[in-house]
Amino acid sequence: MTDKPDFPPLIDHLAEHGWAVTAELLAPSTVAALTEEVQSLWANAAFKAAGVGRGAEFQVRANIRSDHILWLDETKLTAPQTEYRTAMDTLRRELNGQLFVGVQEMEAHYAVYPPGAFYQKHLDRFSTADERIISCSLYLNPGWDEADGGALRLYEGENPIEIYPHAGTLAIFRSDAIYHEVLPATRKRFSLTGWFKRRSLRP
Ligand code: OGA
Ligand code: MN
């Protein structure tokens, strides 16, 4: 394990601004193992074009998002995925302890944005589902340079915030409240995004 982030200020920042960022939750060895895993999965063509909407409303809309995704199989997590889930579970307990958000579950997918791919400004709540509470994007790009582009742009207050996808950076934000977009990059951009969920309030 790496040095744990200092959770109270991290979570205070999330409570105050709707987003926060840390590079300290995941051990560097876990980030390296996830990076190797996502690269080999991508090379083996295991990804699908991402879409928008859920269930019957799902559609591939490359004018809205043009990334490729692979959901983690919760019943068959690999060793690095298990390390990731253990670290995310620490964060989950801290969120519940400090903000009383009552998040119980997580769903997560790897994403690859080929050069030029993007995801237009959106919220992470589907109109048909209210379970997603907190979004968490972990970046898996060693040696990323800001000139490569590919920032996550968060809309909060007057000036948008741009977070670059450096390996080990974890961006967390409210799924229901923070509009955000992924800007195109000049090189392939790898990430692992998870959503903390409450059980659905809908019947
Ligand atoms: C998403 C998303 C952000 C990122 O998958 O919904 O907004 O930085 N991802 O990859
Ligand atoms: Mn999103």
pLDDT in tens, 141-185: 999 999 999 999 999 989 999 999 999 999 999 999 999 999 999
Give helix 79-99 / helix 28-43 axis angle, nearest 10°.
120
Helix (H) or strand (E) holding 62: none
**109 neighbors 71 (Cβ within 8 angstroms):** yes
- Amino acid 46: pLDDT: 87
Verify whether ligand 1 is closer than 6 Å to residue 112 (CB atom): no
Sequence-distant (6+) residues with CB within 8 A of 196 are: 92, 95, 101, 103, 105, 106, 132, 133, 134, 136
Task: Select from 192, 197, 196 the least CA-distant residue to 81.
Answer: 192
Report which ligand 1 atom has the smallest distance to the Cα of 124.
Answer: 6
pLDDT in tens, 86-99: 999 999 999 999 99
Domain 7-52+60-197 has CATH 3.30.1360.70: no
Whether residue 135 is predicted with pLDDT greater than 70 in this model: the reply is: yes
SS3 of the chain: helix, strand, coil, percent, to 5: 25, 30, 45
Whether residue 1 is predicted with pLDDT greater than 80 in this model: the reply is: no
Domain range annotation of the chain: 7-52+60-197
- The residue whose C-alpha atom lies closest to atom 8 belonging to ligand 1 is 152
Is beta strand 152-155 parallel, antiparallel or unpaired with respect to 179-182? Answer: antiparallel
Instruction: State the average pLDDT for the chain.
Output: 93
Report which ligand 1 atom has the smallest distance to the Cα of 111.
Answer: 10
Is beta strand 68-71 parallel, antiparallel or unpaired with respect to 152-155? Answer: unpaired
**195 neighbors 169 (Cβ within 8 angstroms):** no
